[in-house]
Structure 1
Amino acid sequence: MTEALHESLPEIQEALIAWYEADHREFPWRRTEDPYEILVSEVMSQQTQLGRVVEAWEAFLEEWPTVEALAEADRGDVVGFWTSHSLGYNNRAKYLHEAARQVVEAYDGAFPTEPDELQELMGVGPYTANAVASFAFNTGNAVVDTNVKRVLHRAFDVPDDDSAFEAAAQEAMPEGESRVWNNAIMELGGVACGKKPRCDEAGCPWRAWCHAYETGDFTAPDVPTQPSFEGSRRQFRGRIVRTLGEYDELPLDELGPRIRVDYGGDHGREWLEGLLSDLESDGLVAVEDREGETVASLRR
């Protein structure tokens, strides 16, 4: 992270957590701190869209509600469930069943609480171990998946390097807050900062600090070509028309902040007047001075 962003870190952290807690997608595993239930959701999510996982997760837990129940189950039944719900490679079902047996036999039914020890379970790699530690015990490190890499690269210009991503992710996470933070930053990547970003529509809480939002360059490690629309003049022209359609008319000092959260500086009054001039030439808006105040409105 840059020095300026490092200085703003408490504000950045508070903004993301507040955004997440105000409104987020509801998945049932987000309402539990049971490590068994969370492990099942993580394994199922590895190859399946989250919307489809919900039904399978609920049915799986109805069949085998505890880690002890799964450990005692016939492996063929577990694999059959996996196949019938199209949950991807059957090996994951076998590993999940074996991991349940390990928890019962080696840990007396109590899950390990730290990521390193969770990795001793069959089929549980670093990412899954960290997710279970975070969401069940609040003892995890910062999660770094494809969505998180995309967010960090765009927001803070973190270079496309695994060690750089891990360092930045860990620095960004408030100490001792892995449960809410990892949920929040993954939600940001899934809802606001996907391959096609939805900065304003999703109310991204990091727009004021975001390198991509400032520059209009939304490339990322998994987005090799820059979207042609996001951050372009065409996009902001569209925002002006939509905003004036809602308010009928606005003084420029009120219009600017409504179409760009970082309005000011390089993207201030002169930039806005240029966009309005284009729209006026196209016959879409009218701009007039009223008692020393410039007001924009849609042409009817």
Structure 2
Amino acid sequence: MSGEATGGDPDADAGPRVPDDLDAVREALVSWYEADHRSYPWRETTDPYPILVSEVMSQQTQLDRVVEAWHDFLDEWPTVEALADADRAGVVGFWTDHSLGYNNRAKYLHEAARQVVSEHDGEFPRTPDGLQDLMGVGPYTANAVASFAFDDGDAVVDTNVERVLYRAFDVPDDDSTFERVANEVMPPGESRVWNNAVMELGGVACGKSPRCDEAGCPWREWCHAYGTGDFTAPDVPTQPSFDGSRRQMRGRVVKALREYEALPLSKLGPRVRVDYGGEYGEAWLHGLVSDLADDGLVEVADGDDDEPVARLRR
């Protein structure tokens, strides 16, 4: 790793650390992808219609769940012309029956098919800008279709790709910086294989729980996270501090009840927190004890003066 922030101070903490030898970085990822990757049917075609269908279906839906629905959809409407001629209610009904999320996506996909047929003589636009003229096709989907169908897109940047760039090259959590670095690293004119490869890396090796060695991540020698052991990312929150946490306070309740067997809540509270009261007063303690009761660890009964008394469940 070069340790150099792109366009800035080599020691700047806020800048990306993109390796100097981009050719080696690119070759390593593409070779890793081509040697072995998950098989999805839309990766086996360059027809923009089934690729668009897959992209719309996979929005916020796991890819493995999409496969059956994708096959069923194309069995029902095998061409963009068939979809354009379809009854919209039928398309929306299909979407609902297959639990594919927001029905607006079905409506927009149907309208986009009609646009391709009526405005483009059945031929899809080939560029991201042209594809964005289609109903419901935003920048990400347009770029994905341009890349996978026509090998004519920019770098695709989704949550998985952001996580990869954040960890590997210490890219700041900023949309414009993610896009800039993603396009800098992508080899010119190879958007199809590159975008498939980097998305595969994020899905297989660099998920929220990284599998660097197990998946044979090809970027380990350059990866900032692998070198430092810090695998946080924009969509991977850091582990909350144990000190002062609800988990710690639940443990203190159990510890106090082990020592005293049973305690009224007014006496239990100060043994859990020395600053018991106010925000961390009776209502807060009731919540802790109720959680432990739900877990079968504690039982609560009325004591003298009807004050609740907590004890460990035997």
TM-score range, shorter chain: 0.7 to 0.9
Matched with 2:223 is: 210
**Residue of structure 2 aligned with 1:64, choices 77, 89, 92:** 77
- Partner secondary structure for residue 210 of structure 2: coil
Residues 131-173 of structure 1: CA deviation (Å, up to 9, x unaligned):
0000000000000111000000100001111111011000000
CA distance in 2, matches of 1:102, 1:5: 41
Q: 2:132, 2:74 → 1: CA distance?
A: 22
Determine which of 223, 232, 235 is the counterpart of 1:219. Answer: 232
For residue 198 of structure 1, give the secondary structure of its aligned residue in structure 2: coil
Tell me which residue corresponds to 2:208: 195
Structure 2 residue runs without a partner (length 5+): 5-16, 242-314
Task: Select 2:61's aligned residue among 32, 48, 61.
Answer: 48
Name the amino acid aligned to 1:22.
A
Q: 1 CA distance for matches of 2:150 and 2:240?
A: 39
Distance 1:186 1:224 in 2: 21
Aligned residues: 228
1:18 aligns with 2:15: no
**1:93 — aligned with what?**
106
Aligned to 1:29: 42
CA RMSD of aligned residues (A): 1.5
The higher radius of gyration belongs to 2
Cα deviation, residue 52, structure 1: 1.0
Q: Give the percent of matched residue pairs that are identical in Structure 1 and Structure 2.
A: 79
TM-score (norm 2): 0.71
CA distance in 1, matches of 2:71, 2:145: 18
Instruction: Say which SS state the counterpart of residue 74 (structure 2) adopts.
Output: helix
AA in 1 matched with 2:102: Y
Question: For 2:232 and 2:18, how far apart are their aligned partners in 1?
Answer: 20
Cα distance, 1:227–1:136 mapped onto 2, change above 3 Å: farther
User: Does 1:149 find its partner at 2:162?
Assistant: yes
SS of the counterpart of 2:109?
A: helix
| Residue in structure 2 matched with residue 237 of structure 1 by the alignment | none
Q: CA contact under 8 A between 2:19 and 2:222: conserved in structure 1?
A: no
Aligned partner of 1:275 in structure 2 is none
How do 1:107-186 and structure 2 match up within 5 A? Answer: 107-186=120-199
Query: 1:2 & 1:81 partners in 2: Cα distance?
Result: 51
